Amino acid sequence: MSDTSSTKPGGLRVAVDIGGTFTDLAAFDERTGELHFGKALSTHGHLVDGIQDTLNGANIEAKDAYLFLHGSTIAINTLLERSGAETALLITEGFRDIYEIGRVNRPDAYNLFFSKHEPLIRRSLRFEVPERLRADGEVHKALDQDAVRSLVRGLKDRGVESVAILLLHSYRNAAHETRVKEIVLEEMPGVFVSASHELSQEYREFERVSTVAANAYVGPRVSAYLGELEGHLTNAGFRGSFYAVQSTGGLFPIAHARRDCVRMLESGPAAGVIGAQAICAQMGLGDAIAFDMGGTTAKAGVISKGEPLTTGSALIGGYEKALPIQIPMIDIFEVGTGGGSIARIGEGQSFRVGPQSAGSMPGPACYGRGGAEPTVTDANLLLGRLDEKNFLGGEMALDKEASLRAMASVAGPLGLDEVSMADGILRIAVTSMSHAVKAVTTERGLDAGAFTMVVYGGAGPLHASAIARELGIRRVLIPFSPGHFSAFGMLFSDLRYDYVRSCFRRLDEASFDELEAMYGDMEKEGRTAIADSAVKPSEIRLAYAADMRYVGQEHAVSVDLPLEMIRAKDRAAIKAEFDKVHAVRYGTSAPGEPADLVSLRMTVSGLMQKPSPRQVPEGAKAPDAEAVLRTKDVYFRDSKGFVATPVYARTKLRRGNEIAGPALIEEHASTTVLQPGDALTVDAFGNLLVSIGA
């Protein structure tokens, strides 16, 4: 469902994504349709410097932009590194330990060394608040405001930088949480304060407390960084609007991002999936796997029937020791394998690749910045897949001798030569990355082999063919400029607000008037948020969904519901849709069993102008002679050694060109590897369509 509204005159829209190794920029001039790209090493000591480097590299000045979009790994890294603020938790009296008790998960019953999750807030900084609401939101015990004020005054001497507030059933009635937050700000002005109802309107108190604790824990660092970047842009003459990318792939104002920091956990990866969705829409492709491999990690998501698959929560840190975050996000699985992943010998001569990464400093050994351990990038260089004189279009020279020394340091103890060691590193990396794809396909009841895999990230195209072979995927698509693709995806993001309301009803007894009223309240809230935005979208679109389960079940699945189905009060159609989703998710359904409605969900999106598809000129079946840069020796395991391999310039390829593997296709920030048996065709938009050989 959608309607239209006024659109602000177009201008320059700039998007920047910070990764573990590189910072990427994509800019779209809405007046001319031109695209600009930039790439620079991430400067983790001072992230703003890396952003300015990308602007300089792309010859773009902040003052010329009317819209600045940003995605960053700072929130997720703060959680994973446990480098957040000293945080206190204020929680309903009698429930001080629910954050530590959690769900009592023990996934490996026979693991004698199992250790449960470690809370972000230690027990000595968790305090009970005298108050209690009932499950329907009615007051059971009034809030003792004097006790709260006295408690908060005691926090000042404990070095507390941030405060999380979780009061039971605040998703039904936020009055107590709101008042506690007011008292905290009165007594501790300037402290970061996060209340659970601002982040989640769902039940499940452990998930709610984990979410608000995470937000408060990362809040001071993320908010300070965003404020610093905002100030830097202002000093550079930027007078436009600054938006961050959420984990849903949607945009929200920087003021909201500085308050609800956990909504940025997967901002960069989510933007990449949005970019893959746009490519699929251009090609009329309904189902695809979005695979992103950068310098530090590899990520995968799924596009089904033209839409990214989403989830209402995520486990940060893996299932065994995870802390749940209960916010809407694109369903993305991540593994610690990227171009900078370090290869090391472990106990008992075991060998691992990642999750430790060389990052941007010192970076892989071949970067010549002091790295001495071999990485995936070093392996690709030694096997001939990267060119030491043409990395990043020749802007950055690679040191092959340094890669050889690093590789020898692990190859020697294992009795291998450097080439065999490099090949082994890539084999391990490919196996690890295939797990990310399986996690969002096979483990969700989907057949990975039936999907086209859209591959991007600077290191993605280097490994696309090998990963596809590992999974039985037959079709791979390499979009234009894959090394900048997550930033490019932000140019396709829309303003987006996601809402959810817990609603425990039997489907066959639910009042549709009540359901429509709840959806109406969420719609009103979303429209108000978009109306308050500095940037006015061309169209507002509404999407309806519900979390459902069979009566007697504990966990629910999300089901997209067309508005017409709700207005028609068609219980049978809603139930059939739920049965279908349940069958895909779990491999079984029970059409004869009654169902519950657990929560109602609504997404309110303000659609933005998108870059037009980039067309490439028509060409012959064989690429032009000028497209062939050189021929070099490249190692392929199936060929049992190095093979003379042509290297093509991607910018010289034309629509209809066909290339048979083995071959390399080089561009500014990435290289695509065609293995023997692969076949490539260039489509009308300059995408590389690869048919994977046996």
Q: Over the stretch 33-49, which tens digit does the pLDDT of each residue have?
A: 888 898 888 887 788 99
Give the integer Cα–Cα distance in Å for 294 and 337. Answer: 8
Widest CA span in the chain: 81
Which whole-number Å values give the CA distances from 468 to 44, 61, 305, 437, in the listed order?
33, 40, 21, 10
Give the integer Cα–Cα distance in Å for 84 and 78. Answer: 6
- Cβ-count burial 214-238 (b if 16+ within 10 Å, e if not): bbbbbbbbbbebbeebbeebeeeeb
Give the integer Cα–Cα distance in Å for 485 and 52. Answer: 19
pLDDT at residue 147 in the model? 95
In angstroms, the first-to-last Cα distance of the chain is 45
Phi and psi (nearest 5°) for 514? -65, -40
Q: Structure tokens of 24?
A: 């990427």
pLDDT at residue 111 in the model? 72
Instruction: Give the mean pLDDT of 671-689.
Output: 94
Q: Which residue in this structure is represented by tokens 């999907």? A: 451
Give the integer Cα–Cα distance in Å for 487 and 57. Answer: 15
- Whether the predicted pLDDT of 664 surpasses 90: yes
* Whether 660 contacts 645, CB under 8 Å: no
Q: How confident is the model at residue 107 (pLDDT cuts 50, 70, 90)?
A: low
Give the integer Cα–Cα distance in Å for 542 and 526. Answer: 9
Amino acid letter, residue 123: R
Helix (H) or strand (E) holding 594: none
Phi and psi (nearest 5°) for 15? -125, 135
- Whether the predicted pLDDT of 542 surpasses 80: yes
pLDDT at residue 391 in the model? 83
Paired with 478 in beta bridges are 688
Q: How confident is the model at residue 320 (pLDDT cuts 50, 70, 90)?
A: low
Q: Structure tokens of 338?
A: 């990227």
The bridge status of strand 162-166 relative to strand 22-29 is: unpaired
Closest to 555 (Cα-Cα) out of 116, 134, 203? 203
Q: How is domain 495-607 classified at the CATH fold level?
A: Dna Ligase; domain 1 (3.30.1490)
Give the integer Cα–Cα distance in Å for 80 and 74. Answer: 10
Give the integer Cα–Cα distance in Å for 671 and 383. Answer: 13
Paired with 559 in beta bridges are 546
Round the average pLDDT of the chain to a whole number and report it. Answer: 89
Phi and psi (nearest 5°) for 265? -55, -45
Instruction: Give the mean pLDDT of 370-377.
Output: 90
Amino acid letter, residue 325: I
Closest to 123 (Cα-Cα) out of 143, 107, 100? 100
The bridge status of strand 475-478 relative to strand 22-29 is: unpaired
The alpha carbon of residue 52 and the mean position of all alpha carbons in its chain are separated, in whole angstroms, by 23
Identify the DSSP state of 234.
H
Q: What is the pTM of this model?
A: 0.88
Helix (H) or strand (E) holding 135: none
pLDDT at residue 39 in the model? 87
Give the integer Cα–Cα distance in Å for 495 and 527. Answer: 11
Q: Structure tokens of 442?
A: 């096979």
Concatenated DSSP letters for 284-353? T---EEEEEE-SS-EEEEEEETTEE-EES-EEET-STT-EEE-S-EE--EEES-STTEEEEE-GGG-EEE
Closest to 682 (Cα-Cα) out of 648, 662, 664, 659? 659
* Whether 478 contacts 464, CB under 8 Å: yes
Give the integer Cα–Cα distance in Å for 358 and 403. Answer: 13
Q: How many residues does the chain have?
A: 694
* Whether 99 contacts 206, CB under 8 Å: yes
Could you give the 3-state DSSP secondary structure of residue 355?
strand
Identify the DSSP state of 569.
T
- Whether the predicted pLDDT of 4 surpasses 70: no
Instruction: Give the mean pLDDT of 56-71.
Output: 91
- Whether the predicted pLDDT of 108 surpasses 70: no
Instruction: Give the mean pLDDT of 615-628.
Output: 92
**Would you report the helix, strand and coil content of the chain in percent, each value rounded to 5?**
35, 30, 35
The bridge status of strand 65-71 relative to strand 475-478 is: unpaired
Indicate the Cα dihedral angle 388, 393, 397, 401, nearest 10°.
Answer: -10
pLDDT at residue 1 in the model? 47
Give the integer Cα–Cα distance in Å for 128 and 140. Answer: 16
Give the integer Cα–Cα distance in Å for 247 and 359. Answer: 23
Q: Which CATH code is given to the segment(s) 11-78+224-264?
A: 3.30.420.40
- The residue that leads in pLDDT, 689 or 639, is 689
Identify the DSSP state of 676.
T
pLDDT at residue 20 in the model? 77
- Determine whether 110 is exposed, middle or buried from the number of CB atoms within 10 Å of its CB (0-12, 13-18, 19+): exposed
- Whether the predicted pLDDT of 116 surpasses 80: no
Q: Structure tokens of 633?
A: 């020796």
Highest-confidence range of 8-12, 30-34, 628-632, by mean pLDDT? 628-632
Instruction: Give the mean pLDDT of 629-652.
Output: 93
Q: How confident is the model at residue 31 (pLDDT cuts 50, 70, 90)?
A: confident
Q: How confident is the model at residue 319 (pLDDT cuts 50, 70, 90)?
A: low
Give the integer Cα–Cα distance in Å for 421 and 672. Answer: 22
Residue 642 CB contacts under 8 Å (≥ 6 apart), including other chains:
384, 633, 634, 635, 636
Q: How confident is the model at residue 6 (pLDDT cuts 50, 70, 90)?
A: very low
Closest to 453 (Cα-Cα) out of 439, 438, 473, 471? 473
Identify the DSSP state of 631.
E
- Cβ-count burial 552-572 (b if 16+ within 10 Å, e if not): eeeebbbbbbeeebbeeebee
The alpha carbon of residue 651 and the mean position of all alpha carbons in its chain are separated, in whole angstroms, by 29
